[in-house]
Amino acid sequence: MFRNILVHIPSERPVRPVIDVAVALTIARRSHLDAVAIGYESMSAAGMIVEGGGAAVGAMMGAEQERARERANAAIAVFEIEAKLAKIAYGTRTFAAIPAEAGRTISALARLYDMTIVLQPESSKASHDNEIPQQILFNSGGPMLMVPYIHRGPLDAHHVGIAWDGSRLAARAWRDAMPFLMGAKAVTVIAVNEGAGEASSDQLAAHLGRRGIAARVQRLTADRGDVQGAILSIAAESNMGLLVMGDTAIRDCRSEFWAVSRAACSTA
């Protein structure tokens, strides 16, 4: 698994976090890595009335598209330097698009890959790149690894946490993350406000045990609005490098941790 990986290289945000992780993971998994960068076209020019009529508007739009492609090419060039130095099997693609089309295009592309790597959105800094992870998360149909924007270096997946609520999305997420779970030195199932049910955290740990994965269970209670904070606190206290989550958990997650997810927070 994870033999065919896609990484989104931001054109408006720092590229180093995702490049470091993607290249290192590709080496470790002996995978093929494709990188895609998007240059975002401004739509403001489309509504402008320019002296000279349609020809002038067309020229303006063409110039805007060219500037967008240049931004994408500059981002992908940084990736390509590192990929060549690492001597990995890789491919690159750049394109220019208006923001509304960019998310649809890259989500469709991501459907062909075992996993897509993205940079965690940073709400304090406005960028069209912030919208791409959510588009991929909910529209690609595959797992996504979200890299914290403060990260440096390769992924540390020695201790993996699984956010577990017994739901279909949580179940899909831990299955997607199985290659990480198999290679982890420690796995913790985090059960928040767990009630009675067929798919309990103890049962999940037992099923993981049959795959040779020794997982411990950590339970906690938290108010509904504090669930994400409680999970992140446990991850920090236990020095977890990767969180596995379903998409309903990731949407509200704002963290400095990883995420591998079927639809979800810096995560899975």
**Percent of the chain, pLDDT > 90?**
64
pTM, to two decimals? 0.87
**pLDDT band with cut points at 50, 70 and 90 for residue 108:** very high
Q: At a CB cut-off of 8 Å and minimum separation 6, what does 214 contact?
A: 187, 208
Per-residue pLDDT tens digits for 139-183 = 999 999 999 999 989 999 999 999 998 888 899 999 999 999 999
**243 strand-pairing partners:** 161
Task: Give DSSP secondary structure letters for 218-236.
Answer: EEE---GGGHHHHHHHHHH
* Cα–Cα distance, 47 to 60 (Å, whole number): 11
